[in-house]
Amino acid sequence: MSRVIRSLPVMQNWDCGGGCTECCRQYAVYVTEDERNRILAQGWDKEPDLQGVELFERVGHREGNWRLRHRPDGGCVFLDADNRCRIHARFGLEAKPFACRLYPFILIPWGDRWSLGLRFSCPSATRNDGRPLSDYADETRALARILEQRSNAAAIPPPPLPAEQSLDWTDFERIVTALDQLLAQPAIPLEQRWRQILFVVDLLRTARFDGGGDPRKAVVGRRLSQLLEILSQAARDEVPVAMNVPPPSRKARVLFRSLLAVYVRKDTGPQQGSAQRTVWGRLWAAWRFARGRGRVPRLHGAIPADARFAAAESAWPQWNASATALLQRWSRVKIASGQFCGPGNFGLDVWEGIESLAVAFTAALWLGRLLNGHGQPLTEALIQAIRIVDDNFGFNPLLHRWRQRQVLRLLRRGSELARLITWYSRVACISDD
């Protein structure tokens, strides 16, 4: 019997429209040896157009590491002329590789349950198209069963805390719920809600969850709930409005751009940025991002060729409720699902995970502003930006490197991360919708 799927408190829809086929073009699909053998046994070599065509390519030199081949036009070798998956069309959903069945769902271990998250790189997820996620209970339970056969998810501990402290799953849920509630306050500007979260996290860093060796002083259970209530109220009282937040320092902007260069990149597929194709291109792009002036290197195919850094630094010419709702939904899904830390984000501790999501949020604002400055309407620019940033969030191992984590630590100092959020949220004019 598989474990229960934990549903999200935030309303999120999804449906595969089936027509975009982006996931069959943009991603490398890794398969296990068993999956490869199963697909080879399906007899594709008898198809006239697949005779002599390699269906898989080896990744690295290790035995058993394979991925599906892509055609020169970027599409998966199994994508037909009508943009349908041939494996699915002939043998059904369950015959496809597990990675294809799972996308864009994310199943994150959460005690005796699986938490259901979503990849916003999928356009349908970002647009909130389709049916509520709760409608996919049977499908996601079947996927969870496969994951349970492959690994012992029950043995995965709750996301860590710094200084070798730990939480149990119930206390982790208490923290996630408190942070999600801060994000869900409709009367407060979203950037201010995000700064409230960083304020609370900053104070939680000083709490002794293990009681400093004395279990009677441990901040757990009811005591943690009370602390979260007090800190949330303090955040509402103490965190200033945007006009009282100083701009980020020049150093903080340089540091932010070094992370930004990872969040807005695409290394594979038809949308691969031209600057990513050679070592020199990557070095040049890194230098340009550190400098932050002139043309923006095309780390992603969606970045316009003539985009300039200055375009992302100016205030948004207008803003509306749909733009807020979109950014809020994305942030809440990432927090409430628990994807922001632990097994969903390269094992980052709870506080670092929140801060890394705050950087991703700021990166989406930066990129959205850039695209908006190049003619894309507000909501479309943000949808595109969230899709690109979320494609890397929790999935690009570069974001877990020592250097990137050091940058995150430096941005935490002097509230620079909070200042960056306010800076890239500046709006010249707010419209009703």
Please state the closest distance from residue 14 (CB atom) to ligand SF4, in A: 16
Stretch that binds ligand SF4, among 94-102, 139-147, 256-264, 355-363 (CB under 6 A): 94-102
User: Should residue 87 be labelled a site residue for ligand SF4 when binding is judged by CB under 6 A?
Assistant: yes
Please state the closest distance from residue 289 (CB atom) to ligand SF4, in A: 31
State the helix-helix crossing angle for 402-412 and 350-373, rounded to 10 degrees. 90
The candidate with the shortest Cα–Cα distance to 103, out of 218, 212, 211, 14, is 14
Stretch that binds ligand SF4, among 85-93, 130-138, 194-202, 239-247 (CB under 6 A): 85-93
Interface pattern 279-298 for ligand SF4 (x via CB under 6 A): --------------------
Closer of 98 and 199 to ligand SF4 (Cβ): 98
Residues in region 39-68 near ligand SF4 by CB under 6 A: 68
Long-range Cβ pairs for the range 97-103 (8 Å, 24+): 97/29, 97/30, 97/31, 97/35, 97/39, 97/68, 98/31, 98/32, 98/35, 98/143, 98/146, 99/27, 99/29, 99/30, 99/31, 100/23, 100/24, 100/29, 101/143, 102/143, 103/23, 103/27
Please state the closest distance from residue 214 (CB atom) to ligand SF4, in A: 54
Amino acid identity, position 222:
R
Residues in region 64-83 near ligand SF4 by CB under 6 A: 68, 76, 78-79
Please state the closest distance from residue 192 (CB atom) to ligand SF4, in A: 41
Closer of 79 and 218 to ligand SF4 (Cβ): 79
User: Should residue 100 be labelled a site residue for ligand SF4 when binding is judged by CB under 6 A?
Assistant: yes
Stretch that binds ligand SF4, among 93-101, 121-129, 194-202, 340-348 (CB under 6 A): 93-101
Closer of 100 and 227 to ligand SF4 (Cβ): 100
Exactly one of 5, 8, 10, 29 binds ligand SF4 (CB under 6 A); that residue is: 29
Please state the closest distance from residue 139 (CB atom) to ligand SF4, in A: 15
> Residue length, the chain?
433
Integer Cα distance of 33 and 142 in angstroms: 20
- Are 103 and 332 a contacting pair, CB within 8 Å? no
Please state the closest distance from residue 425 (CB atom) to ligand SF4, in A: 37
Exactly one of 3, 6, 96, 369 binds ligand SF4 (CB under 6 A); that residue is: 96
Closer of 100 and 365 to ligand SF4 (Cβ): 100
User: Should residue 24 be labelled a site residue for ligand SF4 when binding is judged by CB under 6 A?
Assistant: yes
User: Should residue 119 be labelled a site residue for ligand SF4 when binding is judged by CB under 6 A?
Assistant: no
Structure tokens at 67: 């991925």
Q: What are the phi and psi torsion angles at 14 (to 5°)?
A: -165, 150
Residues in region 216-245 near ligand SF4 by CB under 6 A: none
User: Should residue 85 be labelled a site residue for ligand SF4 when binding is judged by CB under 6 A?
Assistant: yes
User: Should residue 116 be labelled a site residue for ligand SF4 when binding is judged by CB under 6 A?
Assistant: no
Please state the closest distance from residue 279 (CB atom) to ligand SF4, in A: 29
The candidate with the shortest Cα–Cα distance to 301, out of 387, 430, 411, is 387
Size of the site for ligand SF4 (CB under 6 A): 12
Please state the closest distance from residue 142 (CB atom) to ligand SF4, in A: 16
Positions touching ligand SF4 (CB under 6 A) are: 24, 29, 68, 76, 78-79, 85, 87-88, 96-97, 100
